[in-house]
Chains A and B, each alone.
Chain A
């Protein structure tokens, strides 16, 4: 009697999604898009025989989904493309701490949760890109300097709605406090040559076309654009290299992951995250999108390495989450759209 009813229930789910799989399986909710993770998951399945089932969406809906599903969630692991959302997932009790020597060794301390609920897997550096025909590198120094009057009418920015600008401003708040940071953002806004752009690529194209002279972008967008049009008069500048305060170094965010609180296969999810941080997977993880490996033992892709080395900002990326609300409000007040 019982098995028949169970079967009936399972048939109700006519996609067979509810049927327990025979092989070991890890279920991932991913905000990192399919073409950037599937190659890795495929490689993992080839290596270990473990099947990976995943679904992609934005972080907001994925977290709402985890929350609504509660202890019956099918998800074992949450993968995002920024630290703020991992911090938020952890705040909402959606993740569980994992003790892993491998991850402690492979992921630098500032790129993982101090409470071990999530770990960075690739680094996304946000830096200055300038028009080589109009700006000398010597004119450039820091993010803060882009607020000075000498850049009036020469700055292009992506919208403040993008999380990478929010985390950059959050980093500034840790060093300068809200008041001074707000003044700086206000300065940026005053220097804008045109309304903020919906994405980094558009901002760089505007710099290349001479609508403005400098902008702030994640390096992989630069890599992607230059691959397509190598002759654009654009180059990377690494800001904040000579500062001595907490704001020193290039602002970095992460794409990272954590094991869900109610994972059915937490050990499997942990193994997957450990594998993703290993030498073997790190290149694939970062190179597929021209990002930086999080594991310092692994060197970046040739294209990426050619941009030169830089000092990273060392504030723990969790501040991107804890200060995000403040940063967003501050940017609203400063009129940064």
Chain B
């Protein structure tokens, strides 16, 4: 409990800094935003959240069901390949989608010039944003739901069928409701990322709450107003999270059975063909086409832009993502475990607060952390100067510590989601049985839970790793001199609109991000036997 409180306190630092902005209210800016900006973007944001929720839900759950429960050609490949979009930053997918599908893109140009056809729906629209975000974020739901179906789907379905339900009824009335906490955990991640997103929204010029936060800061020069808007966003997320949690805690879940691998549903040839087509289409649109475009752009710039420094950029990215992911997994595990040892509303609140960092717009979180760190650093420097004649301008700021803590605060939710839902899957009967056999708390964790949680831990680690690789604002603001990463390279190129040149570092991020995804699937598959 103490530990959980400490973690929550760490997250509360930027939250507190953000909320403290209310000490200085700039009435005219807020009044302006309320009158001319907020009305539209609140609607925009709600539509976006609703659309992405449906999008990632439908894509994630259906694909998870197909790969976990059914047998069709290519299933083993799709099983891991459908995760690949995770490695692709959403703003890259967005840029490629607009490049290909807008009026000036090859498809519309061809339709127009060859057929005189101009009736294609506009990609730079609400529907377009929702589509791109859904394609970029469905893997969160897919990954977590797949684990749920794999462990309990088959038995659930059998039980349903023995009660006289059809397969479809069994899916909707038994398997789906049973998988709900996992689906919800995945959707929560996707939606928090959607709410905090700035890059994709900027490319679509789609105004959301987060774009207004940046407008207040960058355009209206009011960091306080930006922080106030961010506070409202955070409160909104908190309410949504608690609401979701409430409806979930009324149910109890336990493992129903072991792996379903041997009991896959054999699809008829026609259905199997459809499944292949569907999974293939999603993979193509969400990953293969964007990555091909990136590769083509990279080919144009690689001769000029690739130099020996890229090894350092890549090394920094992998090192930071690696250490960051380990920290996220360790802390998320302890946090989830604390919840299991002492369940209750207080603990639930602590957990929810501790994982709020993911809903913060990145740059706001970065500032919220940087301000107190700089204050602490100033105190240390002044003390150091007075006492020891220290001569320098950075102590903490010049280290990776700040950066890693910031990553932890931001991505704890990404680790916590899979680990917590994985822990829920281990029934208390297991704990009791182990205790009856004389296993202590530590033994319970290391000998019983950790092995059972292996797939969840790998999932959490891989998600955190990939997210840190892609992360931009925190990396930019807290990196020590000389610690440029691949994501920093992406920033350097895109900040002056050179998207094609950004393809090289983007592609490098994808390649580095694929490694843990493959590792996770491979190890995960082995641990399932």
Contact = CB atoms under 8 A, between A and B. Distances in A.
Interface string B198-209: 000011110100
Say which size band chain A's interface belongs to: 35 or more
Given A9-B388, A195-B205, A324-B221, A58 B103 contact: no
Interface string A307-336: 000000000000000001100110011000
Interface stretch (A106-114, A159-167, A236-244): A159-167
Contacts of B394: 13, 17-18, 72, 74
Nearest to B373: A68
A61 B398 contact: no
Interface in A185-241: 194-202, 205-206, 208-209, 211, 221, 224
A197 B363 CA distance: 23
Interface string A38-79: 000000000000000111111111001100111111100000
A315 B392 CA distance: 41
A332 B36 contact: yes
Nearest to A14: B399
B36 A68 contact: no
Contact of B476 (A13, A36, A56, A195): A56
A152 interface: no
A161 B206 CA distance: 11
Given A15-B480, A163-B219, A202 B204 contact: no
Nearest to B379: A72
Nearest to A325: B220
B390 A6 contact: yes
Nearest to A5: B388
Contact of A206 (B103, B218, B399, B483): B103
Contacts of B387: 5
A9 B382 CA distance: 12
A17 B497 contact: no
A33 interface: yes
A337 interface: yes
Contacts of B253: none
B371 A36 contact: no
Interface string A244-276: 000000000000000000001000000000000
A12 interface: yes
Contacts of B370: 64-65, 68
Contacts of B223: 60, 64
A289 interface: yes
A58 B124 contact: no
B375 A68 contact: yes
B401 to A, nearest CB: 9
Nearest to B304: A35
B218 A33 contact: no
A133 interface: no
Contacts of B122: 194-195
Given A13-B394, A264-B393, A60 B217 contact: yes
B218 A70 contact: no
B250 interface: no
A179 interface: no
B384 interface: yes
A34 interface: yes
Most chain B CB within 10 A, of A6, A53, A211, A289, is at A6
Contacts of B399: 12-15, 17
A65 B394 CA distance: 12
B479 interface: yes
Given A13-B399, A33-B492, A35-B492, A72 B202 contact: no
A211 B103 contact: yes
B477 A57 contact: yes
B80 interface: no
Contact of B393 (A2, A72, A159, A163): A72
Contact of A324 (B29, B219, B473, B499): B219
A88 interface: yes
A10 interface: yes
Contact of B366 (A53, A54, A61, A199): A61
Interface of B: 29, 32, 36-37, 98, 102-104, 109, 122, 124-125, 202-205, 207, 211, 214-215, 217-221, 223, 363, 366-367, 370-371, 374-375, 377-378, 381-382, 384, 387-400, 473, 476-477, 479-484, 488, 491-493, 495-499
Considering the complex of A and B, which 10 residue pairs feature the smallest CB-CB distances, nearest first?
A17-B398, A68-B374, A18-B392, A74-B393, A13-B398, A199-B497, A209-B104, A332-B36, A205-B104, A33-B492
Given A10-B390, A31-B495, A72-B394, 11 more contacts: A20-B391, A33-B495, A60-B223, A60-B363, A65-B374, A69-B393, A72-B393, A197-B205, A198-B202, A325-B29, A332-B32
